[in-house]
């Protein structure tokens, strides 16, 4: 029998997924031709949100590349829009003049974004968010324009808004309802979401009815029916979608809202099927991939002649793909009549949960802030099993109460095998476990390749990662890769690379997006992330004080009795009688139990009560010496040529200059400098992080020394002639260390790890040194003296007030 001809109109996610199934079930049954109006191979539309938000490149979202079509002997007409179907003679025609005969025709034309028919909607700068072209347009626009307005506060609108924020635009979201995502959330969850998104920088215009779009050629403003307006250089409409049925309708196929299909995806015309967003099944046209993939599986079986019970419709669940925010919604979340709802709300932790029950069965859920139990609840909802007596457990789940001690591994291990892990692709825990244990898939990408789990929206990636961690160690006998701490498997370089690639802007966002298995982080990763974010984004990152150690929060070294020390900065260790008098007076006034000269040539006032700190700083009126911080500490100097008969250069002047250039700089670990005026090296420069030793006609620059527990002598970096060169090399070296070392790694350990040669190579070209120096200056330009900052801020000052009956803090 001759092979049948199968033509598919539409090269999108649902149609191609159906063909993938078909090719597995009956590889040689059809000669396949696909027409796709977009000029690309099949790609993951869902991931356009990630592309916009900087999480992926367009090339990365291709699902099946050009070769896949060749390998499967599929004739693809990309960039061809089918404009006519002759159902009598069974031929389709494209706008480019191509035609194809069919025995079987699949309509997989998806949806069109709904464009509000406002006056001015045809102006330049008014677009939808549906395809690669829209995505590229937004990225281009953000380079030249600043103000973006998104109409529609649903899933798509908020994901578009997040992407536009990432692109540096000011973003206002216009929503017709009084609260966001009303199709997925109740008002409480929606308000919590709004607060979180406002904190990320979005502005919301709620209960607004758009009236007209103004501007000459290009959009300039959006006006509302209440007489108000908002400036706009770009308007993105995200107000819903409409199944794309025009072609089917013109061919005489029955359409309602979508193309009407039965349980086998058959239309009213024999031989013609529909699948995906364009199809309407039992009155519903779906707009999420999970149900569309279920439809595709049924269609493939039908076409392959494999028995199937047919498609019976789907319960859907959604997750918003906005980093830093966890939102899950499923089923009848809005408490329809006859249902009862149970709620749990923790405003401090930003967690809200609601489950909706009907006839002892779970029929809906909304989760905000902690969506860890989403897939479990969704499975229960689909299974329709009785949840009588388990309501409290479902609501409180693992997040609080008895479950609080359950680790993420235990939580994953306890999931039943038939639990759906990847909602988009309907992949169960059992399938993933099988891939890991029996098919040698020991990474997330190999699990994705094998099972498709995590290949669509990516929302299940942390779960897949968790399962890989849980089972891969056993199968391979290999140690599971170690991360910077127990909360992640990522190392320092991977984290820094991902933060810069994805433009992640807060500790919470990093943990969320990079799948931290402990959502709170720990005392190791939180300060590390705080440092990396500050180093990468010196201008925009707001230091998270709570993620610093006590010493850095109170700008003093905490002592063993809970008191603090105060060390003012004394540049190069050079002071004056009046400064000494002032220090002495303050020490007397505040009864400072001990005044000590430190090894770094500073004066340490020890034993100060926390509540006295601000007053002492005020009276001292000197900059903080940062003796407590991961920062530039001291620059020790010898007297040098000014007084010493051996001195060849002005070591004091050089030291003071370096200290003034570098003070307040935050670094991975403490950094100490010293300058000696001759090779006798009285300032002990060769056990410092950066040591400068004067020689005849120049300076030797030494790096990577340490005088602490692991004593290490410096290695010679280079010899330079002028003071300017000393500053340039010191700045470049320290910035390079800032950009490449692990948090809490001293230069001595770092140099041993990376090797002096690699550092020399990175610094050998003047232009590279200048670029590093410029980045260091930028970082410094954002720093203020912390003591002064606290003195001028009443709220910050309050942190130093004694607690009633407070015990001294113990370290």
> Rule CB under 6 A: which residues touch ligand SF4?
638-640, 644, 646-647, 651, 676-678, 680-682
Instruction: Give the whole-angstrom CA distance, residue 738 versus residue 539.
Output: 16
Q: Does 467 bind ligand FES (CB under 6 A)?
A: no
Q: What's the alpha-carbon Rg for the chain, to the nearest Å?
A: 32
According to DSSP, the residues that pair with 255 across neighbouring strands are 259
Instruction: Tell me the three state secondary structure of residue 435.
Output: helix
Is 726 an interacting residue with respect to ligand NAD (CB under 6 A)? Answer: no
- Residue from 454, 488, 624, 648 in contact with ligand FES (CB under 6 A): 454
Strands across the sheet containing 327-331? 317-319, 327-331, 361-368, 351-358, 340-346
CB of 238 to ligand FAD, least distance (A): 9
Residues 301-330 that bind ligand FAD (CB under 6 A): 321
Using CB atoms within 10 Å of the CB of residue 193, give its burial: 0 to 12 exposed, 13 to 18 middle, 19+ buried.
buried
513 lies in the site for ligand FES, by CB under 6 A: no
Pick between residue 382 and residue 788 the one whose CB is nearest to ligand NAD: 382
Q: Any contact of residue 156 with ligand FAD (CB under 6 A)?
A: yes
Is 331 a binding residue for ligand NAD by CB under 6 A? The answer is no
* Pick 455 or 614: Cβ nearer ligand FES: 455
Residue among 6, 56, 151, 464 that touches ligand NAD (CB under 6 A): 151
> Which residues from 588-607 bind ligand FES, rule CB under 6 A?
none
Please select the residue that binds ligand NAD; options are 134, 182, 263, 335, rule is CB under 6 A: 182
Cβ-proximal residue to ligand FAD, closest one: 12
Rule CB under 6 A: is residue 237 a binding residue for ligand FAD?
A: no
Alpha-carbon distance of 260 to 266, in angstroms, equals 8
| Of 153, 258, 374, 458, the one binding ligand FES by CB under 6 A | 458
274/289 with CB nearer ligand FES = 289
Alpha carbon 53 to chain centroid, angstroms:
9
Secondary structure class of 35 (helix, strand, coil): strand
Site for ligand NAD in 394-413 (CB under 6 A): none
Q: Which stretch binds ligand FES (CB under 6 A): 417-425, 555-563, 678-686, 801-809?
A: 417-425
Q: Residue from 21, 123, 130, 657 that binds ligand FAD (CB under 6 A)?
A: 130
Where does this chain touch ligand FAD (CB under 6 A) — which range of 109-117, 213-221, 599-607, 799-807?
109-117
**Contact yes or no for 569/622 (Cβ under 8 A):** yes
Strands (E), 431-477: none
Task: For ligand SF4, give the closer residue by CB, 148 or 694.
Answer: 694
Strand partners, 5: 31
Q: What does 116 bind: ligand FES, ligand SF4, ligand NAD, none (CB cut-off 5 to 8 Å by kind)? A: ligand NAD
Q: What letter would DSSP give residue 714?
A: -
Distances from the Cα of 398 to the Cα of 210, 327, 357, 367, 517, angstroms: 43, 17, 19, 13, 14
Residue from 52, 107, 156, 627 that binds ligand NAD (CB under 6 A)? Answer: 156
- Among residues 667, 663, 671, which one has the least CA distance to residue 784? 663
| CA–CA gap between residue 4 and residue 544 (Å, rounded) | 64
Q: Of ligand SF4, ligand FAD, ligand NAD, none, which one sits near residue 678, judging by CB under 5 to 8 A according to partner kind?
A: ligand SF4
- Per CB under 6 A, does 14 bind ligand FAD? yes
**423 vs 466, beta carbon nearer ligand FES:** 423
Q: Can you tell me which of 32, 100, 108, 447 binds ligand FAD, judged by CB under 6 A?
A: 108
The one of ligand FAD, ligand SF4, ligand NAD, none whose footprint includes residue 182, by CB under 5 to 8 A per kind, is ligand NAD
Answer with the entry of ligand NAD, ligand SF4, ligand FES, none that 183 interacts with (C-beta below 5 to 8 A by kind). Answer: ligand NAD
457 binds ligand FES (CB under 6 A): yes
Cβ at position 357, least distance to ligand FES in Å: 25
The partner in contact with residue 454, picked from ligand FAD, ligand SF4, ligand FES, none with C-beta cut-offs of 5 to 8 angstroms by kind, is ligand FES
Nearest to 502 by CA among 199, 129, 166, 139: 166
Mask 408-437, x = binds ligand FAD (CB under 6 A)? ----------------x-------------
Shortest Cβ distance from residue 642 to ligand SF4 (Å)? 9
What is the spatial distance between Cα 701 and Cα 731, in angstroms, rounded to a whole number?
12
Mention every residue, 6+ apart, whose C-beta is less than 8 A from residue 808: 561, 562, 563
Is 268 in contact with 255 (CB distance < 8 Å)? no
Applying CB under 6 A, which part among 22-30, 104-112, 625-633, 709-717 lies near ligand FAD?
104-112
Distance CA 711, CA 488 (A): 32
Neighbours of 775 (CB within 10 A): 18
Q: Is 422 in the site for ligand FES (CB under 6 A)?
A: yes
CA separation for the pair 254, 730 (Å, rounded): 75
* Cβ-based nearer residue to ligand FAD, 156 or 682: 156
Say how many CA atoms lie within 13 Å of 566 toward its Cβ.
31
Residue 551 half-sphere exposure toward CB, CA atoms < 13 A: 18
Out of 321, 452, 712, 773, which residue is the one contacting ligand NAD (CB under 6 A)? 321
Query: Per-residue string for binding with ligand FAD, 21-50, x by CB under 6 A?
Result: --------------xxxx------xx-xx-
Question: At a CB cut-off of 8 Å and minimum separation 6, what does 797 contact?
Answer: 614, 790, 791
Name the nearest CA neighbour of 734 among 649, 641, 661.
661
Q: Is 210 one of the binding residues for ligand NAD (CB under 6 A)?
A: yes
From ligand FES, ligand FAD, ligand SF4, none, interface partner of 458 (C-beta below 5 to 8 A by class): ligand FES
Residue from 99, 74, 108, 101 nearest 4 by CA: 101
Q: DSSP readout, 373-397?
A: THHHHHHHHHHT-B-TT-HHHHHHT
632 near ligand FAD, rule: CB under 6 A: no
Q: Does position 154 bind ligand NAD by CB under 6 A?
A: yes
Binding pattern to ligand NAD, positions 106-125, x when CB under 6 A? ----------x---------
- For the bound state, the minimum distance from the C-beta of residue 638 to ligand SF4, rounded and expressed in Å, comes to 3
Site for ligand NAD in 233-292 (CB under 6 A): 238-241, 287-288
Measured distance CA(492)–CA(524) in Å, rounded: 12
Q: Compose the 242-271 pattern: x for residues touching ligand FAD by CB under 6 A, - for all others.
A: --x--x------------------------
Separation between Cα atoms, residue 514 and residue 499, nearest integer Å: 9
Residues contacting 61, CB < 8 A, separation 6+: 43, 44, 47, 48, 50, 51
Pairing of strands 91-94, 99-101: antiparallel
- Smallest distance from ligand SF4 to CB 747, Å: 22
DSSP letters of 147-183? EEEEE--SHHHHHHHHHHHHTT-EEEEE-SSSSTTTT
Residue closer to ligand FES, measured from CB, 247 or 460: 460
CA distance 76 to 67: 11
**Residue 13 near ligand FAD by CB under 6 A:** yes
Which residues of the shown chain bind ligand FES in the complex (CB under 6 A)? 422-425, 453-460
Which residues of the shown chain bind ligand NAD in the complex (CB under 6 A)? 116, 151-157, 159, 174-177, 182-183, 210, 238-241, 287-288, 318-321
Which residues of the shown chain bind ligand FAD in the complex (CB under 6 A)? 9-15, 35-38, 45-46, 48-49, 81-82, 108-111, 129-130, 156, 159, 244, 247, 276-277, 287-290, 292, 321, 424, 457
């Amino acid at each position: 029998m001759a092979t049948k001809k199968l033509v598919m109109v539409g090269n999108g996610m649902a149609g191609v997924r159906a063909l993938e199934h078909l090719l597995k079930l009956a590889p040689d049954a059809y000669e396949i031709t696909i027409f796709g109006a977009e000029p690309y191979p099949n790609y993951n539309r869902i991931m356009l949100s990630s592309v916009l938000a900087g999480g992926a490149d367009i090339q990365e979202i291709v699902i099946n590349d050009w070769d896949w079509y060749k390998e499967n002997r599929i004739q693809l007409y990309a960039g061809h829009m089918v404009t006519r179907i002759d159902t009598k003679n069974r031929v389709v025609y494209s706008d480019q003049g191509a035609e194809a005969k069919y025995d079987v025709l699949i309509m997989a034309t998806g949806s069109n974004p709904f464009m509000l028919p406002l006056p001015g909607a045809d102006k330049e700068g008014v677009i939808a968010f549906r395809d690669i072209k829209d995505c590229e347009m937004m990225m281009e626009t953000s380079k030249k324009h600043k103000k973006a307005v998104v109409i529609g506060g649903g899933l798509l609108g908020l994901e578009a808004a997040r992407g536009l924020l990432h692109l540096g635009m000011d973003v206002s979201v216009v929503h017709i309802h009084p609260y966001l995502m009303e199709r997925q959330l109740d008002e409480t969850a929606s308000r919590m979401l709004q607060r979180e998104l406002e904190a990320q920088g979005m502005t919301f215009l709620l209960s607004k009815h758009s009236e007209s779009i103004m501007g000459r050629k290009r959009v300039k403003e959006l006006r509302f029916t209440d007489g108000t307006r908002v400036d706009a250089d770009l308007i993105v409409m995200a107000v819903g979608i409409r199944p794309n049925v025009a072609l089917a309708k013109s061919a005489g196929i029955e359409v309602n809202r979508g193309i009407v299909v039965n349980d086998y995806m058959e239309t009213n015309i024999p031989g013609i099927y529909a699948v995906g967003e364009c199809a309407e099944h039992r009155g519903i046209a779906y707009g999420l991939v999970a149900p569309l993939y279920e439809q595709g599986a049924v269609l493939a079986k039908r076409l392959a002649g494999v028995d199937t019970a047919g498609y019976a419709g789907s319960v859907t669940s959604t997750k918003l793909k906005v980093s830093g925010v966890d939102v899950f919604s499923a089923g009848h979340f809005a408490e329809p009549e006859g249902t009862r709802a149970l709620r749990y709300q923790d405003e401090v932790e930003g967690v809200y949960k609601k489950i909706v029950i009907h006839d002892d069965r779970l029929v809906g859920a909304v989760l905000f802030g902690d969506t860890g139990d989403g897939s479990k609840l969704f499975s229960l909802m689909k299974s329709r099993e009785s949840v009588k007596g388990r309501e409290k457990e479902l609501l409180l789940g693992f997040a609080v109460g008895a479950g609080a001690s359950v680790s993420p591994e235990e939580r994953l291990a306890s999931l039943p095998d038939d639990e759906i892990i990847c909602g988009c692709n309907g992949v169960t825990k059992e399938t993933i476990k099988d891939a890991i244990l029996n098919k040698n898939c020991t990474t997330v990408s190999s699990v994705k390749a094998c099972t498709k789990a995590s290949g669509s929206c990516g929302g299940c990636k942390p779960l897949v990662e968790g399962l890989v961690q849980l089972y891969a160690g056993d199968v391979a006998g290999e140690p599971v890769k170690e991360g910077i701490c127990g909360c992640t498997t990522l190392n320092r370089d991977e984290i820094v690379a991902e933060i810069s690639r994805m433009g992640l802007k807060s500790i919470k966002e990093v943990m969320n997006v990079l799948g931290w298995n402990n959502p709170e982080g720990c005392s190791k990763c939180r300060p590390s992330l705080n440092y990396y974010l500050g180093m990468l984004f010196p201008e925009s990152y707001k230091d998270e004080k709570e993620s610093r150690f006590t010493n850095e929060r109170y700008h003093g070294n905490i002592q063993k009795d809970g008191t603090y020390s105060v060390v003012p900065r004394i540049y190069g260790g050079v002071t004056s009688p009046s400064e000494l008098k002032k220090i002495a007076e303050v020490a007397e006034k505040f009864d400072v139990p001990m005044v000590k000269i430190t090894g770094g040539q500073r004066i340490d006032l020890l034993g100060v009560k926390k509540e006295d700190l601000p007053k002492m700083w005020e009276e001292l009126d000197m900059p903080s010496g940062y003796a407590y911080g991961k920062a530039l500490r001291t620059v020790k100097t010898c007297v040098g040529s000014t007084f010493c008969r051996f001195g060849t250069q002005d070591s004091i002047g050089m030291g003071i200059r370096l200290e003034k250039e570098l003070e307040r700089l935050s670094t991975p670990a403490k950094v100490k400098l010293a300058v000696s005026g001759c090779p006798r090296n009285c300032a002990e420069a060769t056990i410092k992080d950066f040591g400068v030793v004067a020689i005849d006609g120049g300076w030797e620059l030494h790096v990577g020394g340490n005088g602490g527990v692991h004593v290490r002598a410096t290695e010679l970096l280079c010899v330079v002639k002028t003071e300017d060169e000393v500053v340039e090399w010191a700045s470049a070296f320290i910035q390079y260390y800032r950009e490449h070392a692990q948090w809490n790694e001293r230069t001595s350990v770092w140099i041993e790890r990376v090797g002096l040669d690699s550092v020399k190579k990175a610094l050998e070209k003047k232009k590279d040194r200048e670029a590093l120096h410029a980045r260091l200056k930028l970082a410094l330009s954002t720093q203020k003296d912390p003591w002064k900052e606290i003195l001028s801020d009443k709220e910050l000052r309050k942190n130093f007030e004694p607690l009633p009956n407070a015990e001294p803090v113990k370290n």
